[in-house]
Amino acid sequence: MTELATYNFAYLDEQTKRMIRRAILKAIAIPGYQVPFASREMPMPYGWGTGGVQVTAAVIGPKDTLKVIDQGADDTTNAVSIRAFFQKTANVRVTTRTAEATIIQTRHRIPEAALQTGQILVYQVPIPEPLRFLEPRETETRKMHALEEYGLMHVKLYEDIARHGHIATTYAYPVKVEGRYVMDPSPTPKFDNPKMHNSPALQLFGAGREKRIYAIPPYTEVVSLDFEDHPFEIQTFSQPCALCGAKGSYLDEVILDDKGGSMFVCSDTDFCEVRQEKGHRGHLAANPAEAAE
Amino acid sequence: MRAATQVFEGGFSDAVLNSQEVFRALMDAMANPGLVIPVRDLVNAPAPLQPVMAAIAATLFDHDATVWCDKAIAGSDAATGWLKFQTGLELTSTPSDAQFALIRDVDTMPSFEAFAKGTSEYPDRSTTIILQVAGFDGAEVLTLQGPGIEHTRSFAPSRLPKLFIDQWAANRAAFPRGVDLILAGKGALAALPRTTRVLKREA
């Protein structure tokens, strides 16, 4: 009797899943190209990851273990609610550990830990078209992709240099996939761009409101656009994580008081926790002996 | 009468989880060109449809899918009846209109040129050709390179279309337009998306 009261596995009906699955196969066959798909209304507002949720729902099975992150964190509203959504509708195992997950749905970060063969990274994408802010007409941007006409994007990066002395784009930094399509990596910090290149994991991108799916297969060339005299650079941080002492991870600034005090901590909460469990300590980490008392 | 009942039988026993299982095999195959992915026999379709090809059809086809079948399949009422009843697909007699093509006789299939290659604006509107082969331990070993392959990968399907190396090179040259291949063997499948380069064999 409970059968009648439950959702179809992973919420979506089977016809919708087939439609999304056909789009995913074409997206993998044409890396970086945005495949239109008939995005459905989901029980969450646009901007909350409806594209990523639909891709995950079409892909996920009972053998999968799901991890959901929002800006690197497993415990923020968006991540918690999407994780709960799939626990309820697909009854799948969930985890916060990057290494244990088979599917990782992400909003705006790539985990610090290197991804493995067989893992699937599903990105939530707000605006899939990298040329959209330069050319608002879809008919035109589609033609620009068809003709590989990406001069405008280089002009935009050049204007950054002319105005600021360096390329000021820090997130959603455009990449070229396999030497052909210019692609928006979703609003991840440019810090994460190098992780997309030759990743052993399959990367799927879902944009629900804009109705596009695109993909990067494993071991695919992903190059951030730049100039010879202004090569692509990632952000660096002058101090290590205040909790785990990690150098070289992406840090968030956390305000501590109203006197300008702040600390910098890893945005990837799982990466930070695993390091702390292994005994790494930053300068503001709680002393485990004191905490126990 | 027997043919009539065959049509209604042999579909997925669990439409939801079986199709998810087959799709994941297809997605892994497409993301890792030339990698042979095992699949269980989940359907039982009338000849000449082998279980893996029929399972792919049941996973991907519905009333939104336009499918071209070669003579061996189109000539069998039981096979087309099964496909229609189980999936609700739309059959076409023009290969260039097809989103998918089911090929049983690889030797006599039309050239890749005959199928839809998509347009420059919409390269996704191209045919995915599903070939039925005996297995993946053929005499001729191909060396593959491209997205989804770390260095190179050896691939030896038991059968390939005529002049495959040349046809595939032409298909690769038309990128981003082009057809994609799925090969359905016995208990396993593999795929060659249009991005894969087939290297000349070293003698």
- Complete DSSP assignment for A77-145: HHHHHHHHHHHHHH--EE-S-GGG-SEEEEES---SSPP-TT-EEEEE-S---TTTTT---HHHHHHHH
A244 is catalytic: yes
For chain B, list the domains and their CATH numbers.
2-191 (3.40.50.11310)
Min Cα separation B176/chain A (Å): 7
Q: Which of B12, B14, B16 to mutate to test the interface with A (most CBs of A within 10 A)?
A: B16
Q: Taking CB atoms and an 8 Å limit, are B195 and A62 in contact across chains?
A: no
Residue A5 has what pLDDT? 58
pLDDT score of B179 more than 50: yes
Residues A219-252: pLDDT tens digits? 999 999 999 999 999 999 999 999 999 999 999 9
Is A61 labeled as catalytic in the residue annotation?
no
% of chain B residues with pLDDT over 90: 90
Domains for chain A: give ranges and CATH numbers: 14-224 (3.40.50.11310), 251-292 (no CATH)
Contact call for residues B46 and B3 (beta carbons, < 8 A): yes
Q: Say yes or no for a CB contact (<8 Å) between B60 and A9.
A: no
Give per-residue pLDDT as tens, B37-59: 999 999 999 989 999 999 999 99
Q: Which residues of B touch A24 (CB under 8 A)?
A: 27
Contact B24 A58 (CB under 8 A): no
Entry pTM: 0.95
Place of tokens 């060339």: A221
Is residue B106 predicted with pLDDT exceeding 60?
A: yes
| A18/B19 Cβ within 8 A | yes
Distance from CA of A279 to the nearest CA of B (A): 35
Question: Could you give the dihedral angle defined by the CA atoms of residues A85, A89, A93 and A97, in that order, rounded to the nearest 10 degrees?
Answer: -20
DSSP state of A153: H
Q: Which residues contact A116 (CB under 8 A, 6 or more apart)?
A: A99, A200, A201
Tell me which chain A residues have a C-beta less than 8 angstroms from the C-beta of B31. Answer: 28, 202, 215, 217-218
Interchain pair A35, B124: CB under 8 A: yes
Q: Which of A21, A30, A221 lies nearest to residue B60, judging by beta carbons?
A: A21
Catalytic residue among A72, A244, A245, A282: A244
Give the nearest chain B residue to A24 (CA atoms): B27
Partners of B11 on chain A (C-beta within 8 Å) are: none
Q: Which helix (H) or strand (E) holds A262?
A: strand A262-266
Does the structure show a pLDDT above 80 at B81? Answer: yes
User: Residue A73 is which amino acid?
Assistant: A
Instruction: Assign B1 a pLDDT band (cuts: 50, 70, 90).
Output: very low
Q: Which of B19, B62, B123 sits opposite A33 (nearest CB)?
A: B123
* From B15, B17, B124, residue closest to A30, measured CB to CB: B124
* CB-based contact A25 B15, cutoff 8 Å: no
pLDDT computed for residue B185 by the predictor: 95
Report the largest interatomic distance among the alpha carbons of chain B, rounded to a whole angstrom.
54
Torsion from C-alpha of A265, A266, A270, A275, nearest 10 degrees = -80
* pLDDT beneath 70: ranges in chain A: 1-5, 288-293
ipTM higher than threshold 0.90: yes
Question: Has A272 been annotated as catalytic?
Answer: yes
Distance CA A63, CA A65 (A): 7
Asked if B20 has any chain A CB less than 8 Å from its own CB, the reply is: yes
- Annotated catalytic residue, options A72, A241, A245, A282: A241
**Catalytic status, residue A248:** no
Tell whether A142 is within 8 A of chain B (Cβ). Answer: yes
Task: Read off the pLDDT of residues B158-173 as tens digits, 9 standing for 90 and up.
Answer: 999 989 999 999 999 9
* Chain B contact present for A23, CB below 8 A: yes
Task: Please tell me the predicted confidence (pLDDT) of residue B201.
Answer: 65
pLDDT attached to residue B6: 81
| Cβ atoms A226, A269 nearer than 8 A | no
CB within 8 Å of chain A, chain B residues 28-67: 30-32, 59-62, 64-65
pLDDT of the residue at A288: 63
